[in-house]
Amino acid sequence: MTLTPLRGLIAAPFTPFRAYGSLALEVIPQQAAALAVNGVSGAFVCGSTGEGASLTIAERQSVTAAWIAAAPAELRVVVHVGHTSVEESRGLARHAMKVGASAIAAYAPTYYKPATVADLVECCALIASEAPDLPFYYYHIPSMTGVNLSCSAFLSAARDRIPNLAGIKFTHENLMEYLACLRFEGGRYDILFGRDECLVAALALGAKGAIGSTYNYIAPVFRELLGAFALGDLALATERQEQANRLIEVMIQHGGQSAAKAIMGMTGIDCGPCRPPLSTLSEGAIARLRDDLAKGDFAAWANVTPPALSR
């Protein structure tokens, strides 16, 4: 197994549905091609943005296989296999390895939660062991799981327990803890940042890779952010962060995930409705969202959809 770090922007794609709720797998090649054209280096599938918790096991396997089949060579596919049941997670991990994923990730069980770092490590070890040829990332997202155990303590306890541990998908605002993970054993692990709206701060601490939902539809502004930061132009990088945040704020004001999926349609790729309990925006709500995005200069920063794949 090669633990090649993930770098750059990794999008967390939406799972496409038809109007009546079934999977629209035929849309995934469009999504994959658009990410590659817009300079995104990877796809983190079946995670929070992908409504993975609302999919059946069979659906998650179908989405995973479709992404791996559709992804161009330069687009690495990381499969989220977390589940309330560790046994289901193990099965998803085996499937991801079988169909050729680049890596797997899992968040903590969210009903019966691990109470200690040792409990969390044991859960992750059971999952990671089912895909020993793949890098494994712990997905830290306490806002959704309710599990907020120390990530640096996790690394310390897991380093000898999980041979294929690659790092952490760190979706939290605790930058002190993020820095501790980045510096753990001289930067031994790949600590991917998961809060799009404060990416520039994470870069200043040493982040090299980021996983986020908005890279699905406004990757160009974040690519300019990364480029400016690499050149030492912190003023321009911060300006681009502010631009992205104006658009993110509009998305949040109009319904968060529901609005984000509607925005995806505005880039030329219709991913359909959200699955309950998430709501889907009405046509009137989408029109209001479009108007407010225009005020934030959305068209200048929206992802480009490859013409050959446009509907």
How is residue 224 written in tokens?
């300019």
- Label residue 129 exposed, middle or buried (CB < 10 Å: 0-12, 13-18, 19+): middle
Per-residue pLDDT at 4: 83
DSSP state of 127: H
Beta bridge partners of 43: 11, 77
Supply the CATH classification number for the domain 8-309: 3.20.20.70
Instruction: Out of 137, 139, 178, 217, pick the active-site residue.
Output: 139
Provide the residue ranges of all domains of the chain, joining segments of one domain with +: 8-309
Task: Provide the pLDDT for residue 308.
Answer: 67
Q: Which residues of the chain have pLDDT under 70?
A: 1-2, 307-311
Tokens of 227: 């480029």
Q: What are phi and psi of 281, to 5 degrees?
A: -70, 145
Verify whether residue 169 is a known catalytic residue: yes
CA 195 vs CA 9, 97, 168, 178: distances in Å: 12, 27, 13, 11
**Cα 280 to Cα 16, 50, 143, 311, distances in angstroms:** 13, 14, 22, 21
Cβ(203)–Cβ(229) below 8 Å: yes
* pLDDT score at 307: 67
What gap in Å lies between CA 265 and CA 286, rounded to an integer? Answer: 10
Q: Report which residue type is found at 155.
A: L
> Across the strands, what pairs with 193?
170, 210
Kindly report the pTM of this predicted structure: 0.94
Sequence-separated (6 or more) residues with CB below 8 Å from residue 89: 81, 82, 83, 106, 126, 127
Q: What end-to-end distance do the CA atoms of the chain give, in Å?
A: 39
Residues forming beta bridges with residue 269, ordered by sequence position: none
In 3-state terms, the chain is what percent helix, strand and coil (to 5)? 50, 15, 40
Q: Hunting for tokens 């690659």 — which residue is that?
A: 166
Q: Which long-range contacts (CB under 8 A, 24 or more apart) does 23-26 make?
A: 23/59, 23/62, 23/63, 24/271, 24/272, 25/62, 25/63, 25/66
Point out the catalytic residue in the list 107, 137, 169, 215.
Answer: 169
Could you report the per-residue pLDDT of 14-72, keeping only the tens digit for each?
999 998 889 999 999 999 999 999 999 999 999 999 999 999 999 999 999 999 999 99
What pLDDT score does 241 carry? 98
Q: Give residue 112's pLDDT.
A: 96
